[in-house]
């Protein structure tokens, strides 16, 4: 009921923010019991990612790289605080407008959790707790603050109540974090121990890279291996909880446990992976030694039926991918169900306990992390996550090259200038890299030793340059005889094209 006096603006806004804090903390606490992605904050964020237009998503990856999700969460936090403050400002006389706004925000959280493919009905308890906590906290604090405004009662009660909300929210939030951490996959990963492949990858020769001349090391460390995915919260899957269901157009459905895979003869392969979001000259390309089992062996055990076209894979967080069955069965390609990376069990952020690695295809159709389900089907029967958003169905990696040194706009001494970089055409192989300085003639670069057609190759070439500004361009030719096109194209719908060029200054 309204009165002749209203709350001060700053106090009214603060009530809305405190109610928001209580709501988020309560939801996070309950999510600790029913699943971390049930936290309304994360569920809304995941929903925002799913609804983001392809162009905007591509801009975020290009602009913010691996920090794109942090930017999203930070932006959400600012927006939610603003909405909470507005809810409070609308309720300077009566709590009704604020309660309506808070209820509306709570319903958004409920819808976001309900829409998650990786959560069941019990997960709705988290946004429901968030809604109840937000409404109850706002109503309670508003009543105390309004009573003070009307009667000039001591402010001590209101201050203590506000402090109590902050402390309670902190305890609840920490409790939710600890509960989620109790199911952390780190200890399970440590228990896996050393993975010893029955068939090891060939030794990497010393001349496989020109790191001393400015190229990356041939093998990318796990810490520096590129990562692009839709997961706001990295899935925590323990080996004891993991299983892989293989079903669909097969003679027999099979379910594998982690021990079933771990105890098979393992194979190690050196593979370069590339993200379709990699711009010309971009960094979303890396190479590692992956350890696992042949995907073709698993499919043969199930018995793929005639007419099968697509291997539809699902991650534990609900993300889906569609790979050509022919590529998965092609033993010359060497597709893996991988459980190890560079001598260790898969890092958690790279898919532990298991992921797909199908060489020669961009990651969105070949590299499902935290994989739990493989359905052999047709292209018409199922449509994967990125296909629904306009990306191409089959995505062979395009022949590309990149200049790593000098860096763009770098100043170097005049005279002998060494240009070095990488080129890749996975599953085809690189035969030649050419460079052109200041629109001069094309010159062929020195290539590194070819480790495998599944991997990148390094190159270098020296030029005599005079003081002043210069531009150098590179292009690669693969083993099919194709030379990468000069025509620039963006990453959508099937990968970027164009020659990489950099400008530098010699002094």
| Residue closest to 1 by CA, chosen among 150, 132, 157, 102 | 150
Fold match flag (192-389 vs 400-506) = no
pLDDT digits (tens, 9 = 90+) for 135-160: 998 888 888 887 765 454 455 565 66
- β-strand partners of 405: 420
d(Cα 144, Cα 156) in Å, to the nearest integer? 10
Per-residue model confidence as pLDDT tens digits over 412-430: 999 999 999 999 999 999 9
Where are the domains positioned within the chain?
9-181, 192-389, 400-506
Give the dihedral of Cα atoms 30, 32, 38, 40; nearest 10 deg. Answer: 60
In this structure, how many other beta carbons lie within 10 angstroms of the beta carbon of residue 437?
18
Please give the span between the terminal C-alpha atoms of the chain, in angstroms, as a whole number.
77
**Taking every pair of C-alpha atoms in the chain, what is the biggest distance, in angstroms?**
87
| Cβ within 8 Å of residue 332, ≥6 positions away | none
pLDDT at 77: 85
**For the chain, the helix, strand and coil percentages under 3-state DSSP, each to the nearest 5:** 40, 25, 40
Residue pair 393/387 in contact by the 8 Å Cβ criterion = yes
Burial of 271 (0-12, 13-18, 19+ CB in 10 A): buried
**DSSP result, 254-297:** EEEEHHHHHTSPPEEEEEEEE-TT--TT-S-EEEEEEEEEEHHH
For residue 301, the SS3 value is helix
The pLDDT value given to residue 168: 63
Q: How far apart are CA 24 and CA 41, in angstroms?
A: 7
Distance of CA 377 to the CA centre of its chain: 26
CATH architecture label of 400-506: Sandwich (2.60)
**Which class in CATH covers the domain with range 192-389?**
alpha beta
59 token code pair: 């801009």
**Structure confidence at residue 335 (pLDDT):** 98
Contacts of 86 (CB under 8 A, 6+ apart): 13, 16, 101
What are the residue ranges in the chain where pLDDT is below 50?
Answer: 1-4, 150, 152-153, 182
């Amino acid at each position: 009921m309204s009165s002749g006096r209203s709350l001060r603006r700053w106090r009214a806004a603060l009530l809305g923010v405190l109610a928001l804090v209580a709501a988020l903390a309560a939801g996070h606490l309950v999510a600790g019991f029913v699943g971390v992605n049930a936290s309304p904050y994360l569920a809304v964020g995941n929903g925002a990612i799913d609804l983001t237009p392809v162009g905007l998503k591509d801009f975020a990856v290009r602009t913010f790289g691996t920090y794109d999700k942090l930017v999203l969460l930070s932006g959400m936090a600012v927006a939610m605080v603003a909405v909470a403050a507005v809810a409070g400002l609308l309720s300077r006389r009566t709590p009704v407008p604020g309660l309506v706004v808070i209820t509306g925000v709570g319903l958004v959280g409920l819808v976001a959790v309900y829409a998650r493919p990786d959560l069941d009905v019990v997960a709705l308890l988290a946004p429901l707790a968030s809604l109840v906590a937000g409404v109850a906290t706002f109503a309670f604090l508003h009543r105390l603050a309004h009573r003070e405004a009307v009667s000039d009662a001591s402010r001590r009660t209101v201050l203590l109540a506000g402090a109590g909300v902050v402390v309670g929210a902190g305890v609840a939030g920490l409790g939710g974090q600890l509960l989620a951490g109790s199911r952390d996959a780190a200890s399970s990963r440590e228990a896996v121990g050393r993975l010893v492949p029955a068939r090891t990858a060939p030794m990497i020769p010393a001349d496989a890279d020109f790191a001393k001349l400015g190229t990356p090391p041939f093998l990318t460390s796990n810490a520096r291996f590129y990562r692009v995915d839709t997961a706001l919260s990295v899935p925590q899957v323990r080996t004891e909880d993991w299983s892989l269901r293989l079903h669909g157009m097969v003679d027999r459905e099979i379910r594998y446990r982690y021990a079933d895979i771990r105890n098979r003869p393992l194979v190690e392969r050196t593979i370069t992976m590339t993200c379709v979001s990699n711009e010309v000259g971009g960094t979303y390309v890396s190479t590692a030694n992956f350890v696992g089992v042949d995907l073709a062996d698993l499919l043969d055990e199930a018995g793929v039926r005639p007419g099968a076209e697509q291997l539809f894979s699902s991650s534990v967080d609900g993300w889906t991918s569609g790979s050509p069955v022919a590529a998965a069965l092609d033993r010359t390609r060497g597709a893996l169900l991988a459980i190890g990376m560079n001598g260790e069990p898969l890092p958690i952020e790279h898919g532990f306990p298991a992921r797909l690695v199908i060489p020669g295809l961009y990651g969105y159709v070949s590299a499902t992390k935290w994989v739990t389900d493989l359905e052999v089907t047709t292209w018409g029967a199922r449509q994967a996550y990125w296909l629904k958003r306009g990306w191409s169905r089959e995505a062979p990696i395009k022949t590309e090259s990149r200049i790593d040194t000098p860096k763009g706009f770098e100043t170097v001494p005049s005279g002998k200038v060494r240009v070095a970089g990488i080129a890749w055409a996975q599953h085809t192989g690189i035969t030649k890299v050419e460079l052109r300085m200041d629109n001069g003639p094309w010159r062929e670069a020195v290539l590194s030793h070819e480790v495998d057609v599944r991997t990148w190759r390094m190159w270098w070439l020296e030029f005599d340059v005079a003081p002043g500004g210069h531009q150098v361009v590179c292009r690669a030719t693969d083993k099919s005889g194709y030379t990468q096109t000069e025509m620039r194209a963006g990453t959508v719908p099937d990968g970027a094209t164009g020659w990489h060029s950099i400008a530098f200054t010699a002094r």
